[in-house]
Amino acid sequence: MHNAGTQEPPELVRLPLRARLDAFARGGVDPADWAEQANAWSFVADERYRATTLLCPVEPADPPVRLGVKDTVDVARLPTRLGLRRHRGYPERSAAALDGVTGAVVNAKLVTTELSLGLEHGCVNPYFPHLDPAGSSTGCAVAVAAGISDLAMGTDSVASVRLPAAACGVVGLRLTHDPRLLDGLYRLSDRLDAPGWLTRTVDDLDVLCRSGALGARLAADGRRPDGAWRIGVPEEVLADRMLPEVRADYDRVRAAVEAAGAELVPVRLGELFRRRALAYELCAKDAFDAYVRWRAGGYGEADEPAPSTRRALEMGAAVGPDRHAELIAVHERHRALARRLFAEDRVDGWLMPAGTLLPRNLHTEAAPETTIRTADPETTAGPGDEGDDDGYDGVNYATMAAFAGLPALNFPLAYDAGHEAPLGMQLIGPPDTEPALIALASFVTGAAGTATHYLGRPSKWPAGEGR
């Protein structure tokens, strides 16, 4: 029996999924012992990190992979609360994005920010308690990092899977935009929303992809069959301002993958890069319209939105019909442009840092007023120019994949001791290439190394620890 007072989860919970599944296949694990250890640790970790709205104990007969689901995604007969204080929905069927998912058992519904729009979440970042675990798939990243769930399904409208993954030092995969996967999800934007998966490591994600645990759509071998990986390096990213630590790690990773045999291909993203902040504005408008329809359906009467949620809704309400039509036109143009660029450049993915900035330090940085950013970078100074006073540096690279409907994968590669924060990379791929994107991330992590993080470490780590 695991000692609930210890800092780390028991060995069976800590094991990488590949090793755990091998042990089960060889009969080297007593399923009853696994269930007892997993359940005991889940309750300890949830008390500590507050990632769930509902915990469901696993049984010895269940698969040894625990699946947590964001509380905006329906799971049959479990409550969907949408991050609200008083709302409850009890769906008859699970969301379409969970169809075909095998080899995993749902063990938790996971915390989200209010309507996926607010900032408040109440969770604690397991590896980096001084950093905001971000949102809106907050509980997904926290539960995976804490070992409460091995796999989590979140939703990603602009960056809602990938930012929490980056902040918590875990892996986040946004799927290709597909309207068929949105049934059973609370939708912020039919144009931008996509389900996403979170795991502790790229190898865990690779194992689950190959096993079918992510659904039949992703059950494939993504290895490149015709030679070396071709990795696109966006010229705009190379010219952009970023923290020196982020720049140094980007340089290190590019050199490592090139030394390992990948071909680095310069690419130009153009408008995709310059106008990436428009994803926030479109999301705000679509989210406001969705909220109005939801309230008209008789929901949410007892809940007054929190200030950050209300501010996001107000920003969406301020987008008029003409501006909305313009945003939709730019969105459609970006989707077509992204597909054309991948076809012309013949690259397997664009490699870039997870973002120009590191996750927010709760003790030294003030919280923003809202999740929504509406500045259009095309009206401000460009990358590398002086005089940019409109927060261009804070517009995350993750928005490009959302606006273009592309799959994207964030994964941690290093630990920065100066900021006590994870450093990660992002790969954005062509539509419907998730297995190949996972395989490419496996190649990158094999070449550049991965970061090892620990639960609840002291605020000051020894230099180099966690690398």
Give mean pLDDT, residues 142-156: 98
Are the CB atoms for 32 and 55 separated by under 8 Å? Answer: no
DSSP output for 108-124: EEE---GGGT-S-----
CB 351 within 8 A of CB 410: no
Q: Say whether pLDDT at 414 is over 50.
A: yes
pLDDT value of position 374: 58
pLDDT of residue 375: 52
Average pLDDT score over residue span 410-417:
94
The stretch 458-466 carries a mean pLDDT of: 42
How large is the average pLDDT for residues 81-106?
94
Say if pTM beats, i.e. exceeds, 0.85.
yes
CATH number of 11-448: 3.90.1300.10
Q: State the chain's mean pLDDT as an integer.
A: 90
pLDDT at 381 (0 to 100):
37
Average pLDDT over residues 363-385: 63
What confidence score (pLDDT) does residue 302 get?
63
pLDDT band (50, 70, 90) for residue 385: very low
pLDDT tens string 130-144: 999 999 999 999 999
Q: How far is CA 57 from CA 8, 40, 68, 395, in A?
A: 19, 9, 12, 40
Residue boundaries of the structural domains of the chain: 11-448
Print burial letters for 414-429: b (CB count within 10 Å at least 16), e (below 16).
Answer: bbbbebbbbbbbbbbb
> What is the tens place of the pLDDT at every residue in 277-301?
999 999 999 999 999 999 988 887 6
